[in-house]
Structure 1
Amino acid sequence: MAEKPIEYRGSCHCGSVKYSVLAPPTLRIVDCNCTVCTKKQNKHFIVPGSDFKLISGENVLKTYTFGTHNAQHTFCSMCGVQSFYTPRSDPSAKAIMPHCIDEPLPLKFYVDSFDGQNWEDAMKIKAKIVTAPK
């Protein structure tokens, strides 16, 4: 039985970017080892884009891309914090950084590894963990 989603609210460090997101009480955190996730220690969970709402900060968001340019790594131009981004694995979704959630704090989560260094092969095996739940 699926858990009933709850509303989380999050932000960047300076508070310029604020968002809300509907997600389960138990979060599935993706720990990807691709170059950008490794450098940024970018652990995240993925939700359908329709479950994400940007409350403020659109005017201060900047985007970084690399490789295929499919992933849209958005970050606050004021403080530099990436609190969410659009993942390569599911461009209709949002990847949320659990450490940027302000309230309620996630009490339960588990971590699932994803081999982003071998992205195409990993997608064949673990696509379910890096795409938004249906």
Structure 2
Amino acid sequence: MSFAVTHTGGCHCGAIRFKFQASPRFTAWCCNCSICAIKRNDHVIVPEQKFQLLQGQAQLSLYTKY
């Protein structure tokens, strides 16, 4: 039986905080770009309706490699 729990997270400086609903165990991917490799960032993809940004909307921006 699979059920959802609330997971929380945010950025290193604390400006961004979020929560999302997912199973207690989920798959996270380790990014190998130079920034993520240095910061040891992991990535989880969740449906938009299961994600809630709690703070930091004004600090968000679009990151592109090029």
Q: TM (normalized to structure 2)?
A: 0.74
- 1:58 is displaced (CA, Å) by 0.6
Distance in 2 of aligned mates of 1:51 and 1:59: 21
Structure 1, unaligned runs of 5 or more: 32-36, 68-134
State whether structure 2 residue 29 is matched by structure 1 residue 22: no
Rg larger for = 1
Q: TM (normalized to structure 1)?
A: 0.40
Question: Which aligned pairs between 1:1-134 and structure 2 lie closer than 5 A?
Answer: 1=1, 3-31=2-30, 37-38=31-32, 39=34, 40-41=36-37, 42-66=41-65
Structure 2, unaligned runs of 5 or more: none
- 1:43 is displaced (CA, Å) by 2.8
Cα RMSD for the two superposed structures: 1.8
**3-state secondary structure, aligned to 2:29:** strand
**Quick one: structure 1 residues 7 and 29, their matched pair in 2 at CA, closer, same or farther if it must change by over 3 Å?**
same
Distance in 1 of aligned mates of 2:29 and 2:14: 24
